[in-house]
Amino acid sequence: MLFSKKINFKIIFKYMICFVYILFSFANTYEINIKNTEEELDQLFCKNKYYGYKETNLYFDEEIYMIPDKGQNKINLLSNIHFIGKNGTVFDFNKKDYSGIEFTFEGKGEGLFFENITFRNFLTSPIELLFAMIFIISSDSNDYRVNFKNCTFENNNMFILSRFKAKKKTKEIDNIVFDNCIFRNNTDRLLKSYHEDKEIQTSYNNIKFDNCIFTGTIGSTYIDSGIIKYNNCHFINISDSLNTYFRYESLILTSVQKENEIYFSNCIFQNIFLNGTRPYFFINFSKSLFVGNTFKNCHSEIGYIINAYYIDKYNKLTFDGLTVIGILKI
Q: Which residues bind ligand NAG (CB under 6 A)?
A: 84, 86-88, 115-116, 123, 149-150, 155, 157, 180, 185, 187, 215, 236-237, 241-242, 256, 271, 273, 275, 284, 299, 309
Q: Which is nearer to ligand NAG, 99 or 157 (CB)?
A: 157
Shortest separation between residue 121's beta carbon and ligand NAG, angstroms: 8
Indicate the DSSP class of residue 241: S
Run of H or E including 272:
strand 268-274
Handedness of CA 296, 297, 298, 302 (dihedral sign): positive
Minimum separation from the CB atom of position 282 to ligand NAG (A): 8
User: How far apart are alpha carbons 166 and 142 in whole angstroms?
Assistant: 5
Taking the least distance from each CB to ligand NAG, the nearer of 143 and 145 is: 145
Shortest spacing between CB 8 and ligand NAG, in angstroms: 44
Q: Give the DSSP letter string of 285-306.
A: S-EEEEES-EEEEEEETTS-SE
Tell me 45's DSSP state: I
Min dist. Cβ of residue 141 to ligand NAG (A): 26
In the complex with ligand NAG, the residue whose CB is nearer, 76 or 150, is 150
CB of 281 to ligand NAG, least distance (A): 13
Task: Return the amino acid letter for 25.
Answer: S
**Alpha helix (H) ranges present in the chain?**
2-27, 38-41
CB of 237 to ligand NAG, least distance (A): 4
Nearest residue to 191 (alpha-carbon basis) of 160, 218, 167: 160
DSSP assigned state of 220: P
Residues 6+ apart with CB under 8 A from 308: 281, 283, 284, 288, 317
Q: Which is nearer to ligand NAG, 268 or 324 (CB)?
A: 268
Nearer to ligand NAG, 7 or 242 (CB): 242
Are the C-beta atoms of residues 111 and 147 closer than 8 Å to each other?
yes
Nearer to ligand NAG, 143 or 224 (CB): 224
